[in-house]
Structure 1
């Protein structure tokens, strides 16, 4: 059979690029088919000038995200700590307060209730079978309720519910009522704990990349070179046990295997011949993408630092409920980052851009003073409007999905394999998880084709 490659990889995000790099290092011929005019998927950086970058897509690296750290080392990508010096700000019940550390100055009863509920969540998460969440003890019971319904039954104060709702929006860009309790527990276990998900120092938001996380994808793409075909949206996939034919906007490609490194909802929009089993298709119908608009205001300098503020803030009023100092390593220009997430993003995503900007800057001004209302520049990235993402940060599972359809998530179908951050076991939904998923899919393909996988050290040596 004539082939264009041994393996076709659909999607040039971090999962697809990682899979292709591993396959090529093991001696296989690879073609990566990417719908966009660029690589990176949900990683995308924007220039600030003077060699400075910010990420309008994924951007952070935590201390236990070892695969991402190894990739950064291999590519020579420098990182630096997220700015966290000084006091944080919280807008709570109409007042703005300042505090140091992780515990805001609000009603002690609310804080104790939040801590109690978080400990209960951590205990439940430790029981999750992360490889196969549907086998978790009491899985059906846990998967038959939303996180919202569980919060209603387990919190004693409205304040604790609000704090945990903000955390859910920040992690999933969705609402507690959208997400299965089992999925929330799986995600927590996948990251190693709830604090790891929401924390800055010691957590998933600890470090940033000097050249942006988007720079990692660009470097991987450059190394793959002509093995990447851009502006090649996949229209149809014909597949059999040992053959794949993929029709794209740039022609038709043939191979022995394919890895689809796409969010499940996008993989479900492709036409397959023969059609995929209903079990797999029904899974993809049920995994929605989060909704987020990432907003940044640029100032001559980070004026909030002079006021003793870190730029990290929370608001129970919103619509921006979480902020960060997103300035470059040298602190100039100053950049405030705010997120519109979940219901706030769904609502404000439908209004005029000027109205949305005004709402965001009003939040910044309430937290950091009137100077925040007049930035030199302002830009945003609405990921739900991206036709080849249709949302961020990740696909989430509603009630019943894990226990009814979980086995379909990673199971190959003939010559077709699946990758993407949604399929990861460790750090599901994050860059580290995307890399894991790419490596896992590549290893499965190599095993089927009778090849040995090349480990990280060998891959790094070849790249060097």
Structure 2
């Protein structure tokens, strides 16, 4: 076992977008930084794969208006944005397997169901406006809202069976979980953090409007290149000790780095698996134990061309029949090939994951065939990323707050624990769970730590 002790100002744990941004910003503040990452590559939940010479995102991908920090970061690195393809009709598959074409964000559900869904949209938006995104537990009626699930709200609010089914599908698409698993207060906070329900659900004008040329993963690589030798890969952090003068961060092979401060920028379930000495305060520890990640399997199917466009389709779909939750056209601007990305979310993702790889492939391609025709069943390439089986994420898109977590323990989410600071998309009061939220959290953590380091230097305190 190696026991090298090296001194730096800050150790950042986790080379996802939050950790990469945090480490780069700390460098700009003049701090000496070490970024340690458990995996053999950077990116965290912004993973990617090369298809036909271009990077396709296997993880976080979309950005949209209001997400100023990720757009600014892309601009800094000279990365262009690509508008999502929205020309043509979307496809909706009913629970009985019937297909309906539609335009906009809501399928043709019948007059009564459409009115029911529109009313639910209005009520959710109105409730979300009352939520304090900086401190959800301080919102009016926070305890009552946090004591209910989205399922109970849906069952009490929706008047039609079709409306209830559509809201369950929307819950899976947005939060990658079942309505019974999700606190109503968290759902409202999530909407408030994004600026409204339309911002969450829409393509044009919403959070799915654009993606980054070369992928979000490509931007993560550029951030990592700037850090160079300050990154250590294949280094899972197992222990963080702290005292009045500094921290000691120990990775799996026994190597320990000493620093003035540490920033932990990993998903909550992974942060909970690190040993802390002294132990974390009970509120922080209990919170981490209560926050599972959403359940997502993402598929990338490559074709010689985006054939669905010739049929007047835009590649977007929603399905009540399942197991697919939704699809999106992710073809490159060059048009040299077609790419469909497919999401299986929530309980269907957990059920599908129990099957063999061959069975999963057949099931998903059969579903794509129903939605887009026989050509969809024979892709040139087909890649699966089951995020819940990734050892160092354990799910996506973000952590899910169950009932009671925000009001009982939420105040511990962002507060530093001594010399340990927290970053990651879950710690941002703006765009929680999105790439932009991760960027914001990395910037905020870096600024706070840099100020603390500068204060200690000014006082002449050793680390």
TM-score by length of 2: 0.95
1:404 is aligned to 2:422: no
Contact 1:53–1:328 under 8 Å retained in 2:
no
Change (3 A) 1:237 1:361: same
Which of residues 98, 101, 121 in structure 2 aligns to 1:95? 98
Deviations 1:312-347 (A, max 9, x none): 111111100211111111222111111110101100
Which of residues 221, 224, 245 in structure 2 aligns to 1:221? 224
Distance 1:94 1:10 in 2: 46
Distance 1:147 1:401 in 2: 14
Paired residue for 1:457?
Answer: none
SS of 2:108 mapped into structure 1: coil
1:139 is aligned to 2:142: yes
1:151 is aligned to 2:157: no
Which of residues 346, 362, 367 in structure 1 aligns to 2:366? 362
1:248 is aligned to 2:251: yes
Paired residue for 1:12?
Answer: 15
Question: Following TM superposition, by how much is the alpha carbon of 1:284 offset from its aligned partner in structure 2, in angstroms?
Answer: 0.5
SS of 1:449 mapped into structure 2: helix
Question: Following TM superposition, by how much is the alpha carbon of 1:296 offset from its aligned partner in structure 2, in angstroms?
Answer: 1.9
Paired residue for 1:287?
Answer: 291
Paired residue for 1:208?
Answer: 211
Deviates most, 236-245 or 424-433: 236-245
Contact 1:242–1:414 under 8 Å retained in 2:
no
Contact 1:173–1:342 under 8 Å retained in 2:
yes
Paired residue for 1:386?
Answer: 390
Contact 1:3–1:256 under 8 Å retained in 2:
no
Paired residue for 1:74?
Answer: 76
Which of residues 353, 356, 366 in structure 2 aligns to 1:352? 356
Distance 1:386 1:162 in 2: 30
Distance 1:157 1:3 in 2: 63
Stretches (4+) displaced over 4 A = none
Instruction: Please list, as runs of the form range in 1=range in 2, the aligned pairs for 1:36-435 lying within 5 A after superposition.
Output: 36-49=39-52, 51-92=53-94, 93-249=96-252, 251-435=255-439
SS of 1:200 mapped into structure 2: coil
Distance 1:132 1:201 in 2: 30
Distance 2:103 2:178 in 1: 28
Contact 1:149–1:177 under 8 Å retained in 2:
yes
Contact 2:55–2:218 under 8 Å retained in 1:
no
Distance 1:219 1:381 in 2: 22
Contact 2:300–2:383 under 8 Å retained in 1:
yes
Contact 1:8–1:31 under 8 Å retained in 2:
yes
Paired residue for 1:459?
Answer: none
Contact 1:78–1:209 under 8 Å retained in 2:
yes
Contact 2:6–2:256 under 8 Å retained in 1:
no
Deviations 1:134-165 (A, max 9, x none): 00000000000100111100000111112221
SS of 2:400 mapped into structure 1: strand
Deviations 1:155-184 (A, max 9, x none): 001111122211111111111111000000
Question: Following TM superposition, by how much is the alpha carbon of 1:266 offset from its aligned partner in structure 2, in angstroms?
Answer: 0.8
Contact 1:31–1:228 under 8 Å retained in 2:
yes
TM-score by length of 1: 0.95
Contact 2:8–2:258 under 8 Å retained in 1:
yes
Question: Following TM superposition, by how much is the alpha carbon of 1:275 offset from its aligned partner in structure 2, in angstroms?
Answer: 1.2
Deviates most, 439-448 or 288-297: 439-448
Distance 2:441 2:413 in 1: 12
Deviations 1:102-136 (A, max 9, x none): 34222111111001011001000000011000000
Contact 2:428–2:438 under 8 Å retained in 1:
yes
SS of 1:128 mapped into structure 2: coil
Question: Following TM superposition, by how much is the alpha carbon of 1:271 offset from its aligned partner in structure 2, in angstroms?
Answer: 0.7
| Structure 1 unaligned residues grouped into runs of 5+ | 453-464
SS of 2:286 mapped into structure 1: helix
Contact 1:242–1:257 under 8 Å retained in 2:
no
Distance 1:446 1:344 in 2: 44
